[in-house]
A = this chain, B = another copy of it.
Amino acid sequence: MKIVSQNFAHGGVQGVYTIDSTFCQCEMTFAVYLPPQAKDGPCPVLWYLSGLTCNHSNVMDKGEYRKMAAELGLIIVCPDTSPRGDGVPDELTNWQMGKGAGFYLNATEEPWSQYYQMESHIMDELPKVIKDHFPVDMDRQGVFGHSMGGHGALTLALKNPDTFKSCTAFAPIAQPMTADWSRPALEAYLGPDESKWRAYDATALIEDGAKFSEILVDQGEADNFLENGLRPWLLEEACKTAGIPLTLRMHPNYDHSYFFISSFMDDHLKWHKERL
């Protein structure tokens, strides 16, 4: 692990680090915030997964998570959203595919499969690095995210309820299999057999029997992507049928931006802390 930067913030340390990723076949960057409590012993760790076009830095700059994380003693890990570098396949004119759009899955189709192994990067590779280098209590992990990262948080939590004790999302893509902005990516990464997409779709996972203790979702009503891209009511319906407790909060006037995320960040951190 290489240190890119470390800045003192709210009594803790906001760091940016890189590793040579075996799964993504490139150098992968991630941010870690250590609260002041990390000096005294292991802290619970909360994974934040970002949305389309973002990397590790957007939420680090605009998410406003440090003050409350410092108060609650939470370590916040913010991975990147895709492999990076000149050799990595991309669609330069399409922000919904390729770099910045890894969708937290393991691609099976060429040319993506060699690099786009984000699920393994996040679930297998990064946790080992985090465990080796930071004072984390790996028995107390939560996951949350925004938009594509909300999809990532929901699907990874539903598939790994023993790893993640808590899960929340800001404006998640509730059903990527049927949303215009994610269907093409799923097909490109996973091939035409839609049955294989179900492992990367929160509502499909729930329909197929996945369970989670409790989920919080915040959604802005002025979000331009609400009707076609996000559709939290599909998650609500699936959770209701499956008996998964979902707290879905609709917020008038809020859009899809970090202004929305940061407005409810403290609520999410408190939610996780209470369950970790």
- For residue A253, CB closer than 8 A to chain B, the reply is yes
Q: Mark A45-81, 1 if CB is under 8 A from B, else 0.
A: 0000000000000000110101100000000000000
Establish whether residues B11 and A263, one from each chain, have CB atoms under 8 Å apart when the complex forms: yes
A258 to B7 CA separation, bound complex (whole angstroms): 9
Asked if B67 and A266 make an inter-chain contact with CB atoms under 8 angstroms apart, the answer reads yes
Cβ distance A11 to chain B, nearest Cβ, rounded Å: 7
Q: CB of A254 within 8 A of chain B?
A: yes
> Is B8 touching A253 in the complex (CB atoms < 8 A)?
yes
**Interface assignment of A260: CB less than 8 Å from any CB of chain B:** yes
- Which residues on B sit within 8 Å (CB–CB) of A8? 220, 222, 253-255, 259-260, 263
Among residues 245 to 267 in chain A, which have CB atoms less than 8 Å away from a CB atom of chain B?
253-255, 257-260, 262-263, 266
Interface size on A, as a range, is 20 to 34
A9 to B263, CA, bound (A): 6
Chain B proximity of A235: nearest CB distance (Å): 23
In the complex where A222-B8, A255-B7 touch, is A262 in contact with B66 (Cβ < 8 A)?
A: yes
Residues of B within 8 A of A62 (CB): 61-62
Q: What 0/1 pattern do residues 1 to 19 of A give for CB contact below 8 A with B? A: 0000001111100100000
CB atoms of B14 and A259 under 8 A apart: yes
Q: CA A268 – CA B275 in complex, angstroms?
A: 33
Cα–Cα distance between A7 and B222 once the two chains are bound (Å)? 10
Q: Once bound together, how far apart are the Cα atoms of A220 and B7, in whole Å?
A: 11
List CB contacts (< 8 Å) of A215-266 with chain B.
220, 222, 253-255, 257-260, 262-263, 266
**A29 to B12 Cα, complex, angstroms:** 34
Report Cα–Cα, A8/B252, bound state, in Å.
9
CA distance A96 to B42 in the complex (A): 43
A-B contact pairs, 30 of them (CB 8 A): A7-B255, A7-B257, A7-B259, A7-B260, A8-B220, A8-B222, A8-B253, A8-B259, A8-B260, A8-B263, A9-B259, A9-B260, A9-B263, A10-B263, A11-B263, A14-B259, A61-B61, A61-B62, A61-B258, A62-B62, A64-B64, A64-B66, A64-B67, A64-B262, A66-B259, A66-B262, A66-B263, A67-B262, A67-B263, A67-B266
